[in-house]
Amino acid sequence: MTPIPALVLAGSRLGEHDPVARIAGVAHKVLAPVAGEAMVSRVLGALEACPRIAGIVLVSDIGDELRRLPRVQRMERSGRLQLREAASSPSLSVAQVFAEFGAPLLVTTGDHALLDPPILAEFLAGAERGGSDLAVGLVEERVIAARVPSTRRTYLRFRDTAVSGANLFLLRTPAAAAALGFWRRVEAERKRPWKLAAAFGPRLLLGFLLHGLTLERAFVLAGRRLGLAVAPVLLSAAVAAIDVDRPEDLQLVRQLAAARAQAEPVA
């Protein structure tokens, strides 16, 4: 199988003024500790342990702080990790790395504290089925509600299901670059689903508001609007949808990480 480079977005929107960073007492939320390790370090560890991942680019505007992390130091020395300065927006950071590395490119975020190799393996396997240019990781509401009913997520609702994003994207072909230009135009609306739908035109907006489209049909229409094939990848792990945007998210991932550690057998 083709080795896949990975990009981790760890730019700072609010820095130490981010409510997660403030409650954790750190300069940036990705440095908040979960089970004794900075969130971004946990993400890097998951990618490092995934056999499919060839190399990792970490994009951030707090490079000096990140270089104090033992995992970052070790991975940089080994050549497995490159640390880059963040662009002015996440979409521009992705576009710059994609222009350099080309397809395929896996993209995730530094606050995906519960990411693990099984989630990555499931996503990559699903993303590589079919002929899509861009694959997007999603988790169904019913899966999240069964495992972590207390969490608040942003859902996209369709006729057959409701889904939340998993902060996992695979840019499979060069055509995926078209999606990055669209992302630049709408990234401020990421927590307002109806505005995202509106950006794809009236047909998709109406279908979204009336819940008249299935998930697959909505992605077909969205892909046509972008001029590429976009595929949803439904993941079985509820925690794949839990990133850390709020202090309550940090508390939840700490609880789930502690429970996971207790459940894992000691070698």
Burial class (CB in 10 A: 0-12, 13-18, 19+), 24: buried
Among 37, 33, 57, 59, smallest CA distance to 47 is for 57
The tokens describing 221, both together, are 């229409």
Question: How many CA atoms does the CB half-sphere of 47 hold within 13 Å?
Answer: 32
pLDDT of 156 reads 86
Q: Assign 104 to helix, strand or coil.
A: coil
DSSP label at 121? H
The values of phi and psi at residue 113, to 5°, are -70, -20
Kind of pairing between the strands at 162-171 and 156-157? antiparallel
pLDDT of 267 reads 35
pLDDT of 50 reads 98
- 2 pLDDT tier (thresholds 50, 70, 90): confident
The H or E element containing residue 230 is strand 230-234
124: number of Cβ within 10 Å: 21
- When the pLDDT of each residue in the chain is averaged and rounded to a whole number, the result is 89
260: number of Cβ within 10 Å: 14
Tokens 């996971």 appear where?
260
- 17 pLDDT tier (thresholds 50, 70, 90): confident
Tokens 């240019």 appear where?
133
How far is 234 from 239, CA to CA, in rounded Å? 13
The mean-pLDDT minimum among 145-159, 190-204, 205-219 falls in 190-204
Average of per-residue pLDDT across 45-57: 97
- 249 pLDDT tier (thresholds 50, 70, 90): very high
Domains within the chain, CATH numbers bracketed: 4-262 (3.90.550.10)
133, 176 contact by CB (below 8 A): yes
The H or E element containing residue 140 is strand 134-140
DSSP label at 17? G
Dihedral sign for Cα atoms in the order 190, 37, 56, 143: negative
Rounded to 10°, the helix 215-226/202-209 angle is 160
